[in-house]
Amino acid sequence: MSNHERQIRDLFAAYLGNDRQRVADALADDFRFTSPFDDDLDKAAYFERCWRDTGWIARHDIERIFVQGDEAFVTYLCLATDGRSFRNTEFFTFAGGKIRCIDVYFGAARQDGGVSCRRRARASQ
């Protein structure tokens, strides 16, 4: 397992464990985050807009990680405690031993065997 793959797996474990400090420590000071809902957020804005209690997640099933140099793609299936699930792909870049950038590409949400509407989750949930 490469160091970058280990960093990705550790980040997912920290997120699932609701360990905000461990997540913050994994991210570079100049960290940037982009998703279909968020454009080029810095580290502080990421935690303000995107961090919430992760108790709604039952598990992440990492399906694949491809690493090339200081870049990586990860595709995973997220299973929620209420039975919903969704598949995302994230593109990571690394610098100085930290995660410098994450670009998220959302997949369809699923519930009860069908596609369901996926809305932005509120940070307070």
**Lowest-pLDDT range, 54-58, 77-81, 120-124?**
120-124
Separation of CA 76 from chain center? 9
By the 8 A CB rule, do 7 and 25 touch?
A: no
Q: 117 near 111, Cβ under 8 Å?
A: no
pTM over 0.75: yes
Q: pLDDT band at 30, cuts 50/70/90?
A: very high
